[in-house]
Amino acid sequence: MNWQKSSFSDQTAGNCVEMATDSSEALIRESDAPQTILRAGRPAIGAFFAGIKSNGLEDPA
């Protein structure tokens, strides 16, 4: 699996969000806990990132 680090992660302290993909899923993990992996179908993760980009995930409070 080829994991890629986010360009927004803290590269010096090792606090990195990493992502990998295969033919049907996107996988996300925290570099300091690589054994814990969030798996989501490509359409679901695409909708998640679209929501982030449009500020659709802001706290309503």
> How far apart (Å, rounded) are the C-alpha atoms in residues 27 and 37?
6
CA–centroid distance for 49 within its chain: 9
pTM above 0.75, yes or no: no
Mean pLDDT for 14-20 is 83
At 20 the pLDDT is: 94
Domain positions in the chain: 4-51
At 40 the pLDDT is: 94
At 46 the pLDDT is: 87
Q: What is the pLDDT of residues 24-56, one digit of tens each?
A: 899 999 888 889 999 999 899 888 888 888 877
CA–centroid distance for 54 within its chain: 16
More confident residue, 8 or 3: 3
